[in-house]
Amino acid sequence: MTVAPALVGRGIGTLLLAHAMGTLPQPIRLRTFQANLGAQRFYERHGFAAIELTDGHANEERCPDVLYELAQRCDRG
């Protein structure tokens, strides 16, 4: 998911992520670049935890990245 820089801070990313979290099976995993601190804060604020750091050898850009996971939540009634 990418939101154009000019549109960051308007809630678009939150809406997109909420849709993904409501439709995808859990656990949900995603990656962002280690240099993208704003994205890391965003995902962590929404309950994702970093589970792996890489040196970027496996991605097209060859940039170090972070694998995040949103663990399965238990619904308690």
Q: Cα separation of 34 and 63, whole Å? A: 8
**Confidence class of residue 46 from pLDDT cuts 50, 70 and 90?**
very high
Segment 69-76 mean pLDDT: 70
Asked if pLDDT for residue 19 goes beyond 70, the answer is: yes
* Neighbouring residues of 55: CB distance < 8 A, sequence distance ≥ 6: 64
Q: Give the model's pLDDT for residue 12.
A: 94
Tell me the pTM.
0.83
Q: Which residue has the higher pLDDT, 26 or 41?
A: 41
Averaged confidence pLDDT in the chain: 90
Cα 74–chain centre separation: 20
Of 74, 75, 10, 72, nearest in space to 42 by CA: 10
Q: Cα separation of 67 and 61, whole Å? A: 15
